[in-house]
Structure 1
């Protein structure tokens, strides 16, 4: 029994036996830690230096706008160049930006224009990093291990998402926001140094390079030509809008309750634990009809919205949050592995950039319109509407012919070059 359990454990974590993936995993883990430290340290640092919520809003906007604008640009360049080098450069820029911002806060010589400029640079670098990171995995593990590899990468994001804000808070309280941002910058520097050691198969350069805008259109054509890709991006966009509304309206509902802040915190913790469980499940469960399975599992997000809207008992709501976390992270692992299995290697980052755009661009819209919708439907009605939207899009999405037809056993896409485990 012990030997059998040991064999299952090795199978689940098999990607870590490949040296290229070990380096990718270590680098992206460092980057994820930095990304979870930054929001808390930045927010409290700017508020302490300026005392102005408007200044904080300006800084967050200065980061978000170029992130959205340059995602598609980042996707094109990640398909053109070495994805490892795109990520390395982005990490180096982010390290310099965070260390500069931390040093500025420590000096007390804070200028809003300088903060805005640093945030614009950081948002742009992140826009290049995301599409490149999605495409890199296909070059670091064999095709049959892509799902486990994506689950492991997502697992680090889940764990960091749960512990990072707490660690950032401890750093801000103990050493100050400036030093916390410098520590944040060092995590990006560590990632860049690790990526320097990563060797992946070199891309073959075409004899004649198409124009930038032609390659951008080719990426969009790849999205349109595969119904399951367009289907997935559409349903992810709906979920992001629904969860954006939940993040605005949910606290307002709990604020009216005794110990509402504590209850909301417990709910978010359960949601994060659920994402960990979902990623662990993805290490073992490998359905053949991946996107169909993803659409079905995503329905697990719906009970959370219903329980909050119905003011269900806390235990039931927390249980629904745990299940919702599984309904978020498990489909993500299936989605990314399917992209990498089914798409040609030279278009993955461009397609991924449209996915990232759908996920990030409309989230601010969800934040802004949720209060308006709540003024008409009420807070509970708005949350219920979000849950029903997720349910409806998943049912319709699961019925799409391209979703039914997609089966990883019959993929015609050739496997990525096998990664060495030396």
Structure 2
């Protein structure tokens, strides 16, 4: 697996690392000498570890000193990694623009005389184009430099948003053009998403993967209220056309930040045809039972539990809980919980990640139960906070496990299958939640969703290949802190 992997040996001896072009014999000897010297200089009684770890970073070898381990090193070092800082800034701005756009698109369609159905078509065009193109995006992101794939995606959406904004500002826009441009933008995002998962292990050492994913999660959920509020304010003051022009600027800024990331060339296999690469990605996706089984599980969660809650929730709030303000409290709780989940990921690294994901996702049943019972708004809001925490922290743990256990050269293709599989039933879930509730009742639909997530989680965790998955990031109390050279060069 290319990238950064620790190779450890005992008794203060550094083992040779096969296939590391940048490691000369002289360099290894010097590393061993520094390690032996550090081990001899350790004071009696000091908690040290006579284990040398040499980190291979893109075919360059950086020895780590043998010094006492401090958990704080792993918690704060990720923001000292230059490439990750640029990636984090780019993703934060991208998340902001992503949450700014929907309200601008909706009011652009309505401003042209469109109906609610046409607003739905504009959103569906984006989502369906993204889902249908994810596998292509995964293949491309494994074949080409992922940074360039992300820049290309941002450039495409820059053009899409600028064109939409220009059409609206000039008064020449028609609804079908906006829907088509939405589809183009969604297809471009399908290249960005798998590449963004695959690039994280290229920018940070393996011990910092979970912290990196946690910061991404914090940015994602912090950008939701800020972006939505900014979008609403812009639409109300200067109009949807100018709001979309500003959204285009966020894509341009993201592309510029990604261009500042400096990564050495990534080793890839000889080029083959597209179908073969797609098949190899499918084999990598299915050879890990925990990957394909949890992808299928989460797709049904979106269909049976997640979509009904968010479709039926506003209806229950309007008729039984006091209206929109009650639902706003629930969504606020969800957002606060999501931020807390990202923060928790900075500190807590589970040794058995699938068990933790399953345990937390069963908690999301509580919000369905309380909504079905028409419980007090404060109780539903508290349960939504727990659900937001579970989803956010679970996503951090999932991304970290995927990035650390799936071969790097196949990671974007596996991520593409994961993204497509997880999202494939979500549009259908939104579409059928209302009709199903009309047929069997709102309360019954919510009870079914709650029961399903609990029972299905028990079934999934009964599979040994799922519950026995071990993290390679957690449990590093016996590892030395990262060398400053590793952090600065990453």
TM-score of the superposed pair, with normalisation by structure 1: 0.93
Picking from 269, 281, 298, the partner of 2:361 is 298
Q: Corresponding residue for 2:153?
A: 90
- SS at 2:408 equivalent: coil
Q: Corresponding residue for 1:107?
A: 170
1:420 is displaced (CA, Å) by: 5.0
Picking from 170, 176, 198, the partner of 2:233 is 170
Residues 8/391 of structure 1: CA separation in 2 closer, same or farther (3 Å cut): same
Contact 1:303–1:387 (CA under 8 A) maintained in structure 2: yes
Picking from 471, 474, 477, the partner of 1:408 is 471
Q: Corresponding residue for 1:322?
A: 385
Picking from 43, 46, 49, the partner of 2:109 is 46
C-alpha deviations, 1:219-269, integer Å up to 9, x for none? 111121111111221221122122112121111111113532110011011
Q: Corresponding residue for 2:185?
A: 122
Q: Corresponding residue for 1:63?
A: 126
Q: Corresponding residue for 1:231?
A: 293
CA distance in 1, matches of 2:228, 2:430: 21
CA distance in 2, matches of 1:403, 1:54: 41
Q: Corresponding residue for 1:336?
A: 399
Contact 1:270–1:319 (CA under 8 A) maintained in structure 2: yes
Q: Corresponding residue for 1:213?
A: 275
Comparing 253-262 with 284-293, greater Cα deviation is found at 253-262
1:346 partnered with 2:409: yes
C-alpha deviations, 1:110-141, integer Å up to 9, x for none? 12332233112101101111111011101000
1:421 partnered with 2:488: yes
Contact 1:23–1:197 (CA under 8 A) maintained in structure 2: yes
C-alpha deviations, 1:373-410, integer Å up to 9, x for none? 21232001101111111111212222211123211249
1:190 partnered with 2:253: yes
CA distance in 2, matches of 1:107, 1:339: 46
1:377 partnered with 2:440: yes
Contact 1:158–1:276 (CA under 8 A) maintained in structure 2: yes
1:271 partnered with 2:334: yes
C-alpha deviations, 1:40-90, integer Å up to 9, x for none? 011011211234334323322322222111011101110111111000000
C-alpha deviations, 1:281-304, integer Å up to 9, x for none? 111001111122111121121111
Alignment size in residue pairs = 409
CA distance in 2, matches of 1:293, 1:54: 40
Contact 1:296–1:398 (CA under 8 A) maintained in structure 2: no
- SS at 2:364 equivalent: helix
Instruction: Please identify the structure whose Cα radius of gyration is greater.
Output: 2
1:8 is displaced (CA, Å) by: 6.6
- SS at 1:155 equivalent: helix
Q: Corresponding residue for 2:76?
A: 13
- SS at 2:445 equivalent: helix
CA distance in 2, matches of 1:202, 1:43: 42
1:36 partnered with 2:103: no
- SS at 1:421 equivalent: helix
Q: Corresponding residue for 2:262?
A: 199
Contact 2:112–2:175 (CA under 8 A) maintained in structure 1: no
Residues 218/179 of structure 1: CA separation in 2 closer, same or farther (3 Å cut): same
1:180 partnered with 2:243: yes
Q: Corresponding residue for 1:387?
A: 450
Q: Corresponding residue for 1:4?
A: none
Contact 2:80–2:487 (CA under 8 A) maintained in structure 1: no
Contact 1:299–1:391 (CA under 8 A) maintained in structure 2: yes
C-alpha deviations, 1:287-334, integer Å up to 9, x for none? 111122111121121111111011112221111111111110111100
The runs of 5 or more residues in structure 2 that have no matched partner are 1-69, 475-484
CA distance in 2, matches of 1:399, 1:383: 25
1:218 is displaced (CA, Å) by: 1.3
- The structure in which a higher percent of residues are helix is 1
Contact 1:267–1:318 (CA under 8 A) maintained in structure 2: yes
1:205 is displaced (CA, Å) by: 3.1
The runs of 5 or more residues in structure 1 that have no matched partner are 1-6, 412-417
C-alpha deviations, 1:183-239, integer Å up to 9, x for none? 111000000011111112322132x32211111111111121111111221221122
Q: Corresponding residue for 1:361?
A: 424
CA distance in 2, matches of 1:328, 1:23: 26
Contact 1:49–1:108 (CA under 8 A) maintained in structure 2: no
